[in-house]
Amino acid sequence: MRAFKVAAATVGLSAALTGTAVGLAGPVSAAPGAAGCAQGTYPPASSTVALSRSRASVGMAISYQARCFKPGEQVTVTVYSTPQRVGVLTADATGAVSGSFTVPSTLEPGRHTLELAAATGTQSAGFVVVPSAAGAGSSTSGNDDSSLAFTGSDAAKSAGAGIVLLLGGGALIVAAKRRKHADAAA
């Protein structure tokens, strides 16, 4: 129980420091029915917006799903930090909407918010725009992490260096023992 409390406190502190919402909800299709969509309650329900990716570069598509809207309600989809409307959707019979948008070229690298606004309320989710690798002269592969820097190490080089050091240490031990036996025989 203590480990769970420590983990919960760590997640809560991390969310508070980074300013991101932490939700444990599953995908929209696995989400609870309208009973899990109570509006105006405290503490507020966890975010019901799901994004296909949390990091993208300009020109990449981000899909989203949201629930807890009134069936048939018009939902306006806007990207913020500089407001840009990217769509208007109609909630289905269960109050869910889904769609996608392409990250506009006018968005600067950094944190942004996708907001879904309707008469019954507003929901949002954050994402990060990363610099495009195409601007640096290489092509993007459409992969979500194509513009991320390599921050790891080459394990083969480290393992090779370790083996060389072990063999060198073994050779020194053998040489020391031979010298010791040669000195004792003389």
Q: Is the pLDDT of residue 61 over 90?
A: yes
Average pLDDT value for residue range 23-27: 37
Three-state DSSP at 52 gives coil
Residue type, 171: A
Name the residue ranges covered by the structural domains of the chain: 28-136
d(CA 102, CA 92) in angstroms, rounded, equals 23
- In angstroms, the CA 69 to CA 39 distance is 10
pLDDT bin (cut points 50, 70, 90) of residue 7 is very low
Mean pLDDT of all residues in the chain? 75
Picking from 30, 48, 27, 49, the residue whose alpha carbon sits closest to that of residue 38 is 48
Q: What is the pLDDT of residues 64-82, one digit of tens each?
A: 999 888 999 999 999 998 8
d(CA 112, CA 108): 9
**Both ends of the chain: CA-CA distance in Å?**
69
3 state DSSP class of 183: helix
3-state class (DSSP) for residue 4: helix
Whether the CA torsion 24, 27, 31, 34 is positive or negative: it is: positive
Query: Confidence class of residue 87 from pLDDT cuts 50, 70 and 90?
Result: very high
The CATH architecture assigned to 28-136 reads Sandwich (2.60)
Cβ proximity of 28 and 50 under 8 Å: yes
Express each pLDDT in 134-164 by its tens digit.
544 344 444 455 555 566 666 777 888 889 9
Whether the CB-CB separation of 52 and 27 falls below 8 Å is answered with no
Query: Dmax of the chain from CA atoms?
Result: 100
